[in-house]
Amino acid sequence: MSHDEHWLLLCGGVGGAKLALGLAHELPPGSLTVLVNTGDDFRHLGLWISPDLDTVTYTLAGLVNPATGWGLAGDTFHCLEGLSRLSGPDWFRLGDRDLATHLERTRRLAAGERLGSITSDLASRLGVSARIWPMSDDPVATLLHTDSGLLEFQDYFVRRQAAPVVRAIEYHGASEAGPAPGLANLLKDPGLAGIIIAPSNPWLSIDPILALPGLRQSLADARAPVVAVSPLIAGQAVKGPSAKIMRELGLPPDAQGIARHYLCLLDGFILDDRDEAEAAGIGLLGLETVAAPTLMRSLDDRRSLARVALGLARRLGNSIGRPHRQTG
Ligand code: FO1
């Protein structure tokens, strides 16, 4: 592998962070950039909280709570217990050590520092060699139009445990937000060997990124092949409400539905072995389709799925006459 090779992963929550870890182990230090959803961000207890940035950072630093995939392993919740005694909001579980991240991020934002610069500094102080970029330094809020009204993301996802029926999803502020500085250049960089869309929830974790001005077009224009990993296995989300949201939006919760969601952007698609029967149909959409184990329980699972994604992107990148991606 040529050492100027660079890779870009688009990701959101827990599933995305798992593949980020697999890729970080399979690639040389500094050759992976993880572009992270910030639509889940919100102000809570006076703190600015960026859950997906922290989930990716803690995961790549080897510090994440393995049981939940977010927060810090071994963290305590004394502050939250105290807050609850004072009848403060305790529905969003903030650990005592995790609070340091939110306090420091909030302090530095108030001092005028960019979210991207804060994120990179916190990651490097935690020993992370991959580049972790917020999708934008400007605020974007995923809002859900549901049968319980218009809900902020964490209110829907955590407080109401994704129970409300989703009618439509809005990425408030996305059209005014600037994509991460450096992203446009990275997408034009001849050393960019591939772009991978993680097995994150397409509607909640990837679409906020794709809603940024010009992003879809610059992905379509990029020479680097684009490969997506399905977040569903046998019609079920590995974690979270992907399948539920698909049904609520009137879409069949299957791998083909995921492929169609990203279709114009993709060259390749990875689905789980259990969904192999769908591979031919997705291939007819013009996508190089590979079936592989996509459930990531161990580090080896994460690394082997990363190798499948890297291998597919390399094959697509090398094949001269690869089917031209529809643009737009
Ligand atoms: N997810 C939950 O389901 N319950 C929580 O109490 C919770 C707290 C929390 C605290 C910090 C953090 O960085 C993430 C946290 N998450 C929690 C996950 C969060 O809701 C993410 O937005 C999801 O993982 C989706 O990306």
In tens, the pLDDT along 285-305 reads: 999 999 999 999 999 999 999
Round to whole Å and give the CA distance between 62 and 72: 9
Closest residue (by CA) to atom 25 of ligand 1?
A: 13
Whether 269 lines ligand 1, by a CB cut-off of 6 Å, is: no
Closest residue (by CA) to atom 26 of ligand 1?
A: 13
Least confident residue range of 182-186, 249-253, 281-285, 322-326? 322-326
Q: What is the CA(158)–ligand 1 centre distance, in A?
A: 7
Whether 13 lines ligand 1, by a CB cut-off of 6 Å, is: yes
Whether the predicted pLDDT of 320 surpasses 80: no
pLDDT of residue 3: 56
In a domain, 325, yes or no: no
In a domain, 27, yes or no: yes
CB-based burial, 299-320: b 16+ in 10 Å, e otherwise: eebbbbbbebbbbbbbbbbeee
In a domain, 311, yes or no: yes
Q: How would residue 2 be classed by pLDDT, with cut points 50, 70 and 90?
A: low
pLDDT of residue 13: 85
Contact 248, 165 (CB under 8 A): yes
In a domain, 87, yes or no: yes
- Return the ligand 1 atom nearest residue 200 CA: 26
Q: What is the CA(314)–ligand 1 centre distance, in A?
A: 34
Q: How would residue 322 be classed by pLDDT, with cut points 50, 70 and 90?
A: very low
Considering only CA atoms, give the Rg of the chain: 19
Tell me the best of 44, 70, 98, 126 to mutate to test the pocket of ligand 1, counting ligand atoms within 8 Å of each CB and taking the most: 70
In a domain, 16, yes or no: yes
- Return the ligand 1 atom nearest residue 58 CA: 13
Where are the alpha helices (H) located in the chain, listed in sequence order?
Answer: 14-26, 51-60, 78-85, 96-110, 115-125, 153-154, 183-188, 207-210, 215-221, 242-248, 255-262, 279-283, 299-318
Tell me the best of 38, 158, 160 to mutate to test the pocket of ligand 1, counting ligand atoms within 8 Å of each CB and taking the most: 158
pTM of the model: 0.96
Place of tokens 């791998």: 255
Whether the predicted pLDDT of 323 surpasses 60: no
Q: What is the CA(209)–ligand 1 centre distance, in A?
A: 19
Q: How would residue 318 be classed by pLDDT, with cut points 50, 70 and 90?
A: confident
For residue 198, give the CATH number of its domain. Answer: 3.40.50.10680
Per-residue pLDDT of 149-159, as tens digits, reads: 999 999 999 99
User: Mean of the pLDDT values across residues 56-67?
Assistant: 98
In a domain, 118, yes or no: yes
Per-residue pLDDT of 244-273, as tens digits, reads: 999 999 999 999 999 999 999 999 999 999
Round to whole Å and give the CA distance between 108 and 94: 19
Domain residues for 241? 6-140+172-317
Per-residue pLDDT of 206-242, as tens digits, reads: 999 999 999 999 999 999 999 999 999 999 998 899 9
Closest residue (by CA) to atom 1 of ligand 1?
A: 158
Instruction: Identify the CA nearest to 63 among candidates 25, 23, 104, 17.
Output: 17
Q: What pairs with residue 72 in β-bridges?
A: 64
The DSSP call for residue 286 is T
Closest residue (by CA) to atom 4 of ligand 1?
A: 158
Q: How many domains does the chain have?
A: 1
In a domain, 157, yes or no: no
pLDDT of residue 1: 46
In a domain, 242, yes or no: yes
Phi, psi at 26, each rounded to 5° = -90, -15
Round to whole Å and give the CA distance between 303 and 35: 19
The DSSP call for residue 132 is E
